[in-house]
Amino acid sequence: MTLVVGIDPGQRSASVLNLAAMLAGSASAELVVAVVVPRTWPLSAGSADAEWRRFTRATADAALDHAAAVLGDAVPARFVVQEASSVRRGLAELAEQHTAELIVIGSSSAAPAGRIALGSESDALLHASPVPVAIAPRGFRTAAGTRVGRVTAAFHGTDTSADLVRGAIEVAAQVGAALRIASFAVVPPVSGTAGTGLGVEQDIADEWASDVQRRATGLLAEASALAEPPALQGTVIGMGDSWESAIADVPWQEDEVLVVGSSSLGPLARVFLGSHATKLVRVSPVPVVVVPRGAASPDRE
């Protein structure tokens, strides 16, 4: 198994490397750690652009040296400089070249500590990647040798998100992690239903939660029937008056990853974040793996 890791030479952040090491150690995977630099036309020795090209290459090499120092001998890794017209395209090309199962990136520096923010390049990658994309929160750190302890699958009660859960069950079993199903609902503090009051919206949320709980219980029953099921840690439902309070309504652990699916309106074989997934990514206190629709089915390796 191969994971492509995109690093930003301008940040020198260790967050993405800590996440990559945890994922690679859990899945016995090899890392391809990459800096993407602009693709340029062939240059003559006297070209005015030669100095800029040398600078970008030296910056990339320094970032890769830093990455190698952070990773040490924790996991097998190759370090490459990839020329491409954009970071998004360069990482996608590397994923195809190495038949990678996952692309790992870090958060924008604009994110608060412990949270995720998407920059223009990472946002573009999430809308075009042919494979799942894992995102590290800003400042994410793990102890050496940490493995994924729990996989939490976001479940919206739809058939598409049920496939995502089934896929997460298989992944959790493969990496020796526990599996939990989580659903989230935002109940606004002031009702938008004319004349009926907040109680109606709470009743609707409670009815939705009961239906989700019933369907999630069925998925867990499927999982328990597997020959070698992961440890099943049930279902949690987080509710609050905002997405941040809803996700804070459930407990999280340091060795956990949250798996979310792409929008049902997205292209079949590409990541495309719907509004719920986007909001979950931005408020998640743990690393997030965004899965394209075409990769959500459990029969996909």
In three-state form (DSSP H/G/I as H, E/B as E, the rest C), the secondary structure along 209-226 is HHHHHHHHHHHHHHHHCC
First-residue to last-residue Cα distance in the chain: 11
| Domain endpoint, select from 136, 161, 193 | 136
pLDDT reported for residue 27:
93
* Domain extent for 289: 150-295
Q: Are residues 37 and 171 in the same domain?
A: no
pLDDT reported for residue 80:
96
Identify the DSSP state of 127: T
| Domain endpoint, select from 136, 160, 188 | 136
Q: Is residue 142 part of a domain?
A: no
Q: Are residues 220 and 116 in the same domain?
A: no
Structure tokens at 263: 């929008």
Give the strand order in the sheet containing 133-136. 77-84, 30-38, 2-6, 102-106, 133-136, 288-291, 256-261, 150-154, 178-186, 232-240
pLDDT reported for residue 277:
76
Q: Are residues 132 and 216 in the same domain?
A: no
Q: Are residues 126 and 175 in the same domain?
A: no
Which regions of the chain are under pLDDT 70? 40-48, 190-200, 262-275, 293-301
Q: Is residue 144 part of a domain?
A: no
Contact between 34 and 60 under an 8 Å Cβ cutoff? The reply is no
243-280 b/e with 16+ CB inside 10 Å = b?
Answer: bbebbeebebeebbbbbbbbbeebeeebbbbbebbbbb
Q: Are residues 203 and 264 in the same domain?
A: yes
Q: Is residue 301 part of a domain?
A: no
> Which residue do the tokens 């996700």 mark?
247
What is the CATH classification number for the domain harbouring 164? 3.40.50.620
Q: Are residues 154 and 131 in the same domain?
A: no
Q: Are residues 127 and 172 in the same domain?
A: no
Element (DSSP H or E) covering residue 256: strand 256-261
Tell me if residue 193 falls in helix, strand or coil: coil
Q: Are residues 154 and 291 in the same domain?
A: yes
Q: Give the total number of structural domains in the chain.
A: 2
pLDDT reported for residue 133:
93
Q: Are residues 54 and 8 in the same domain?
A: yes
| Domain endpoint, select from 89, 112, 136 | 136
Question: Which residues are CB-contacts of 18 (< 8 A; sequence separation ≥ 6)?
Answer: 70, 136, 140, 141, 142
Q: Are residues 96 and 209 in the same domain?
A: no
Q: Is residue 101 part of a domain?
A: yes
Q: Is residue 141 part of a domain?
A: no
Q: Is residue 265 part of a domain?
A: yes
Q: Are residues 116 and 156 in the same domain?
A: no
pTM of the model: 0.87
Q: Are residues 123 and 162 in the same domain?
A: no
pLDDT reported for residue 198:
52
- pLDDT tens-digit map of 18-72: 999 999 999 999 999 999 998 766 655 556 677 878 888 899 999 999 999 999 9
